[in-house]
Structure 1
Amino acid sequence: MGNGGSAGRRILIVDDNCDAAELLAELVRLCGHEVSVAFSGYSALQTVDLFRPDVILLDIGMPGMSGYDVAIALRARPEFAALRIIALTAWGDAEARARTAASGFNLHLTKPAPLPALLGALVAA
């Protein structure tokens, strides 16, 4: 459980690439965080209600429900106003970055993100 400090946050990783999501989850766990993984936008919304993460690492290009759609759905709910949503995506062009900002993301990281930048983003205020 979270201890209120910079370590021990609850992190939800959402990516339709199961291997990439599981590998990232293991790295984040090794850094002392509690992690849950979802492999689609729809399952992400269900997991958020149960897991109550502090931070979501959210892929954008997923079938069915995109990361943009997930972020918009979460930002429409007042209880998730303080939730930190970080895009972790292969899409790094200006249009994608503008869409993540408009959809309510706090930060946009492009895959493969350098591990120090990624881990630093998880504990940023």
Structure 2
Amino acid sequence: MPQAATQRRILIVDDNRDAADLLAQVLALHGHATDVAYDGEEGLAAVERLHPDLIFLDIGMPLMNGYQVAERIREMRHIPQPLLIAFTAWSDDEAKARVIAAGFDLHMTKPADFTVLLETVLQSPVVSL
């Protein structure tokens, strides 16, 4: 099992349980601590509890979409701010503009090249307490 040079605490927020769980398992196999939330409210609670270094956040979720979750995370001034990655199938110009406006740091289109995804993780700052 590969070990990460520096372990990251990673939160995956996605209503597609299979996709979220698979990404969490693969990143865990690379030495990272992973947690999964399956909706926006659960994701916000996990951010408060875990203080992740980075978050892979789906956009197209019911009830509370990823843009709304991102905006709420950026309002949490009492926690170290994670690297926030929009991890979505939406790749049109409007979606990318909304990603920036909501406070995301990066936009990655699903399915992502795993080498690029892992390199992004390894280059991210460690912010968790």
TM-score, normalising length: structure 1: 0.92
Q: What residue in structure 2 maps to residue 120 of structure 1?
A: 119
CA RMSD of aligned residues (A): 1.3
Instruction: Classify the secondary structure of the residue corresponding to 1:12.
Output: strand
Q: What residue in structure 1 maps to residue 58 of structure 2?
A: 59
* CA 112–75 in structure 1, closer or farther in 2 if over 3 Å, else same: same
The residue correspondences of 1:1-125 to structure 2 (distance < 5 A) are: 6-80=5-79, 82-125=81-124
Structure 2 contact 51–79 (Cα < 8 Å) conserved = no
* CA 81–72 in structure 1, closer or farther in 2 if over 3 Å, else same: farther
Instruction: Classify the secondary structure of the residue corresponding to 1:87.
Output: strand
| C-alpha displacement of 1:120 | 1.3
| C-alpha displacement of 1:124 | 2.1
| C-alpha displacement of 1:6 | 4.9
Distance 2:89 2:58 in 1: 8
Aligned residue identity for 2:54: V
Instruction: Classify the secondary structure of the residue corresponding to 1:69.
Output: helix
Give the length in aligned residue pairs. Answer: 121
Instruction: Classify the secondary structure of the residue corresponding to 1:78.
Output: coil
* CA 72–124 in structure 1, closer or farther in 2 if over 3 Å, else same: same
TM-score, normalising length: structure 2: 0.89
Distance 1:6 1:96 in 2: 33
Question: Which stretches of structure 1, 4 residues or longer, exceed 2 Å deviation after superposition?
Answer: 79-82
Structure 2 contact 86–107 (Cα < 8 Å) conserved = yes
**Structure with higher RCO (Cα < 8 A, 6+ apart):** 2
Q: Which structure 2 segments of 5+ residues have no match?
A: 125-129
- After superposition, the C-alpha distances for 1:39-93 in whole angstroms (9 at most, x for unaligned) are 0001000011111100000000000000000000011121346310001100011
Q: Which structure 1 segments of 5+ residues have no match?
A: none
Distance 1:63 1:6 in 2: 36
